[in-house]
C-alpha cells in the first residue's frame, strides 16, 4: 500500500506544480458554459426545456473530468521518453500496484478539476438542488475519473509517441462526450442515437451528475452507479494488464 500511496502522491504533486496546465484546462469548460449556456439558453427555454444552464452544467463538469482523466495517460509516454518510467518499473513493486497508484492519482486530480469547474458553474448562475447532493456528485466525478484514467492508461501502454496517443484519444473522447447527453436531453431521441447513448459509459456519468445536482436524471442513481462501477473495474483490469506488458 505504501508504494500505491507514493505513486498517488507523486501524481498529485506533478499536477499541482503545473499552474499553466490547471489554468489552461479550465478554458474549454468556461467557453462551453458561456457560449452554449447563454447562446442556446433562450432557445432551450422557448422549447419548454427550462433553464439550459441548469441542464448543461453537469455535462460540462463531466466533460472536464473526462478530458483530464484520459489525457493523464500521456504522462506514461512522457515518462517513457525521458527514462522516468524505467526507473519506476525496475523498483521492487508489482506493475499492477504501480498502475493502481498512477490511476488513482490521475483520477484524484481529474476529480479536483471537476470540483473547480463546478465552482465555475456557480459563477454563471447554476444552483444545485441540495448541499448533501454534492457528496453524491463528487462520487460520480471520481467514478468517471477512474474509468477514463484507466482507459487513458490502457491506450498509453500501447503507444510510444505523443501524436499517436492524442489521435487515438480524440477519436474516442469526442464521440463519447457529444453522444453522452451532456449537451442535449436523452429523451425523445431517434432509436439509433438512443442506442449509441445507452452503450456510451459517459452517459451514465453525466446522467448521474445531473440526477445528483438537479434531480433530473433518466436512468436512476442506482443504475448509473452500477454501470459506471462495473465498467471501471473492467477497464482497470484491462489497463493493468496492458501496463504490465510495457517493454522498457
pLDDT recorded at residue 248: 62
Note whether 129 and 215 are within 8 A (CB). Answer: yes
Task: Kindly indicate the confidence band of residue 7, based on its pLDDT and cuts at 50, 70 and 90.
Answer: low
Specify the higher pLDDT residue, 131 or 214. Answer: 214
The string of pLDDT tens digits covering residues 69-100 is: 988 887 777 777 766 666 676 667 777 888 88
Q: What is the DSSP letter of 185?
A: -
Mean pLDDT, the chain, as a whole number? 84
Note whether 174 and 97 are within 8 A (CB). Answer: no
Task: Kindly indicate the confidence band of residue 18, based on its pLDDT and cuts at 50, 70 and 90.
Answer: low
pTM for this entry? 0.90
The string of pLDDT tens digits covering residues 108-165 is: 989 999 999 999 999 888 888 877 788 999 999 999 999 999 998 888 888 777 777 7
- In this model, does residue 13 exceed pLDDT 60? yes
Supply φ then ψ for residue 86, to 5 degrees: -60, -40
Q: d(Cα 196, Cα 67) in Å, to the nearest integer? A: 20
Amino acid at each position: 500500500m505504501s508504494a500505491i500511496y507514493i505513486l498517488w502522491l507523486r501524481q498529485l504533486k506533478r499536477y499541482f506544480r503545473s499552474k499553466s496546465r490547471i489554468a489552461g484546462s479550465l478554458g474549454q469548460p468556461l467557453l462551453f458554459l458561456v457560449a452554449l449556456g447563454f447562446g442556446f439558453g433562450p432557445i432551450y427555454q422557448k422549447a419548454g426545456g427550462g433553464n439550459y444552464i441548469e441542464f448543461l452544467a453537469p455535462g460540462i463538469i463531466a466533460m472536464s473530468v473526462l478530458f483530464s482523466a484520459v489525457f493523464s495517460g500521456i504522462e506514461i509516454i512522457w515518462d517513457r521518453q525521458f527514462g522516468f518510467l524505467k526507473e519506476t518499473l525496475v523498483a521492487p513493486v508489482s506493475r499492477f500496484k504501480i498502475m493502481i497508484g498512477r490511476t488513482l492519482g490521475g483520477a484524484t486530480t481529474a476529480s479536483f478539476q471537476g470540483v473547480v469547474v463546478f465552482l465555475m458553474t456557480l459563477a454563471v448562475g447554476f444552483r444545485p438542488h441540495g448541499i448533501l447532493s454534492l457528496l453524491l456528485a463528487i462520487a460520480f466525478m471520481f467514478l468517471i475519473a477512474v474509468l477514463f484514467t484507466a482507459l487513458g492508461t490502457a491506450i498509453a501502454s500501447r503507444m510510444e509517441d505523443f501524436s499517436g496517443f492524442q489521435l487515438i484519444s480524440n477519436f474516442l473522447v469526442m464521440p463519447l462526450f457529444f453522444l453522452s447527453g451532456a449537451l442535449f436531453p436523452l429523451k425523445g431521441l431517434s432509436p439509433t442515437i438512443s442506442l449509441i447513448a445507452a452503450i456510451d459509459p459517459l452517459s451514465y456519468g453525466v446522467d448521474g451528475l445531473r440526477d445528483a445536482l438537479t434531480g433530473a436524471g433518466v436512468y436512476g442513481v442506482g443504475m448509473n452507479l452500477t454501470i459506471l462501477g462495473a465498467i471501471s473495474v473492467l477497464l482497470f483490469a484491462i489497463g493493468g494488464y496492458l501496463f504490465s506488458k510495457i517493454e522498457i
